[in-house]
Amino acid sequence: MHPILFDLGPATIYTYGVLLASAYLLGLKLAMVRAQARGLDQARVLDLGIYIIISALVGAKLLLVVTDFRTFLSDPSELITLARSGGVFYGGLILAVSVALWYIRKIGLPLWTTTDVFAPGIALGHVVGRFGCFFAGCCWGKPTDLPWGVHFTQLGHEYTGVPIYTADGLDAHLHPTQLYESFIMLAVFGFLYWLHRRKKFDGQVFITYAIIYSIVRFSIEFIRDDPRGDLLGLTTLTGLSTSQLVSLLVAATALVFLVLRLRSFKPETGSL
């Protein structure tokens, strides 16, 4: 891991921040390319992308505050850590989608075509962003005896609290869940890019992304081990993490939209 990219004395450049910014810019660039190919107004798509980036950053931090409310309430000074924390991805996704829907309707862009344009870029940005998590030492996994288990450094422990020793005082080797998710999302990006050229109806790419990512995140959560609070007591009640609960909600919503889009889709029929 390498949490600090450059230390310039009065200014410290964090690897996570650089990679997160790169993820957003890379995803936005890809969306612009896809928008041009689909004949959308690139200036409006760029404005939409900026709204999405800002709302994603805010939403991720807001959900972190909600899920870990007791920690921030007991020690308000912990709010300072929000400046260097990426927050909870689902918080960013939910707020970004909400803001995007509002802005798309306001400026008159075609809804489902526009969401399809952004979907591959979101997946690609996720690939880069999770590498940022790995270098920072956050979003860590449970202990493992597998040969690729990762032992983080003391610096990582100081910044994120990632465990570096077991209860027996031995070096802790953890599942690199950040890399698992990054590599899987790289494959998802490839699939979405392929699907974008072969989709049967507008909205298919974005809905597919929502369903696949929900499955991926729900599964990876079983081997993640970083504390993320108990949203409204539901984690204690169900035994599922906050992200797993949100995954179920996102997947269910996406499936409803998939059914609705399939019902409205009318395939071309040839004449006899």
Quick: pLDDT tens for 42-72. Answer: 899 999 999 999 998 888 888 877 777 666 6
pLDDT value at residue 269: 43
Does 119 fall in a domain?
yes
Query: Among candidates 17, 29, 30, 26, which has minimal Cα distance to 57?
Result: 17
Does 272 fall in a domain?
no
Does 271 fall in a domain?
no
Phi-psi region at 169: left, alpha or beta (left = phi > 0; alpha = psi -120 to 50):
left
d(CA 244, CA 218): 5
d(CA 66, CA 62): 6
Mean predicted confidence (pLDDT) in 1-20? 77
pLDDT value at residue 95: 92
Structural domain count, the chain: 1
pLDDT tens sequence across 200-246: 999 999 999 999 999 999 999 999 987 666 666 667 777 788 889 88
pLDDT value at residue 78: 62
**Mean predicted lDDT score pLDDT of the chain:** 86
pTM of the model: 0.86
Does 14 fall in a domain?
yes
Please give the C-alpha separations between residue 154 and each of 24, 151, 159, in angstroms, as whole numbers.
Answer: 29, 10, 9
pLDDT tens sequence across 80-109: 666 556 677 888 888 999 999 999 999 999
Does 83 fall in a domain?
yes
pLDDT value at residue 230: 65
Higher-pLDDT residue of 233 and 13 is 13
Percent of the chain with pLDDT over 90: 50
Higher-pLDDT residue of 148 and 67 is 148
pLDDT value at residue 264: 83
Q: What range defines the domain where residue 134 resides? A: 4-263
Does 269 fall in a domain?
no
Query: Among candidates 18, 10, 12, 99, which has minimal Cα distance to 56?
Result: 99
